[in-house]
Amino acid sequence: MLTLGIETSCDETGLALVRDGELVAERLASQEDVHAVFGGVVPELASREHLRLLPYLLDELFKGAGVNVPDVDLVATARGPGLLGSLLVGMGLAKGLALATNTPLVGVNHLWAHLLAPGLEQELIFPAMGVLVSGGHTHIYLMHSATEIELLGQTIDDAAGEAFDKVAKLLNLPYPGGRHIDELASRGTPDKLLFPRPYLNNQNLDFSFSGLKTAVAVYLNDHPELRQARMEAPAPEQNSSALQQELFDVCASFNWAVAATLHAKTERALKRQESVRALVVAGGVAANSHIRRTMQDLADSYDLPLILPSPELCTDNASMVAFAGELLYRAGWCHGLDLEAVPRGRKIPWDYQQVSSG
């Protein structure tokens, strides 16, 4: 079975072909340069870029893989959550292809696609505890199976990735700043008392990162010299000045606080669900080197395998959409051409149709 995956929920334009659970080919065009100067994604520009790029990427993908449109058995598209205008561009392509070639269509929850993405590289194990840390979401799920994924907790304000990006912005680092903070933090030593591990003094599995971001903002107000004079990616330095070392340490302290908070809430969730057989950590922030090590330690201490996508598979891509779409379809679920895009903030409905056996 050959599945075409389409990802346009934010600022990455992605297309991929997956055959029977294996990646065949993919194309990914990042719009980072378009949005970097604005310090965040400009929705209008993102939609236009998706519209401009998709025809070229589709042509390249098919030619590169030696595949023709009629070879595709299933069209899978990210249907939300995301930027509505951006989602609609990908969905327009998906519906057009499905209609023209009479191919089944399946809409994929972008967040579930992140959680299932490691299945492209290793066997998935269920039930699993799934931690989804991205630019827009910080969710803890109980993953009963690839198609039964139960939300246990979520952020009540900023997502972990949003906190990384906002702190990066305060330091005048380019958007999206998570990976720059990661890079700077890896050269520093965390002061574990500098910033709070937020929202742990309760019994729930929810997160709140806005207070941590404010704590960093207050600190930087008192230390404006840490802010970069020019907005540019940090250069790999051989010898660092005392000021640079202070910047590395501040980034390490912030990164540590995020990782320690994720560790604490995930551990709380694991204690409550003794039946889980694996820990999955996915989404863009799962590319963070310190968070990867922290979650590995947690999984080890519970004697659970850690299922972690390689860093390229953590951030938005279409391979994960194709893969999740194939799993849904194989489980008997698809959509009609009335499939709707769901913007961020609205719950994704379970509105699948049963795949007809005929």
Binding site for Zn ion (CB under 5 A): 134, 316
The 117-136 contact track toward ligand KG4, x by CB under 6 A, reads: -----------------xxx
Site for ligand KG4 in 84-103 (CB under 6 A): none
Which is closer to ligand KG4, CB of 50 or CB of 179?
179
Which is closer to ligand KG4, CB of 72 or CB of 133?
133
DSSP assignment of 122-137: S---SSEEEEEE-SS-
Site for ligand KG4 in 153-172 (CB under 6 A): 161, 164-165
SS3 91: helix
Q: Which stretch, 31-39, 62-70, 277-285, 297-305, contacts ligand KG4 (CB under 6 A)?
A: 277-285
69, two tokens: 């449109």
Inter-axis angle of helices 178-185 and 289-301, nearest 10? 70
Binding to ligand KG4 by residue 182, rule CB under 6 A? yes
Binding to ligand KG4 by residue 179, rule CB under 6 A? yes
Site for ligand KG4 in 283-302 (CB under 6 A): 283-285, 287-288
**90 is in the binding site of which of ligand KG4, Zn ion, none (Cβ under 5 to 8 A by kind)?**
none
Q: What residues form DSSP beta bridges with 14?
A: 7, 28
Binding to ligand KG4 by residue 261, rule CB under 6 A? no
Which is closer to ligand KG4, CB of 26 or CB of 165?
165
8 Å CB contact between 354 and 332: yes
Q: How many angstroms separate the Cα of 125 from the Cα of each of 20, 122, 130, 156, 167? A: 18, 9, 11, 29, 35
Give Dmax (Cα) for the chain: 70
| CB-based burial, 142-173: b 16+ in 10 Å, e otherwise | bbeebbebeebbbbebbbbbbbbbbbbbbbeb
Shortest spacing between CB 113 and ligand KG4, in angstroms: 10
Contacts for 56 with CB less than 8 Å, ≥ 6 apart: none
- Interface residues toward ligand KG4, by CB under 6 A: 10, 134-136, 161, 164-165, 176-179, 182, 283-285, 287-288, 315-316
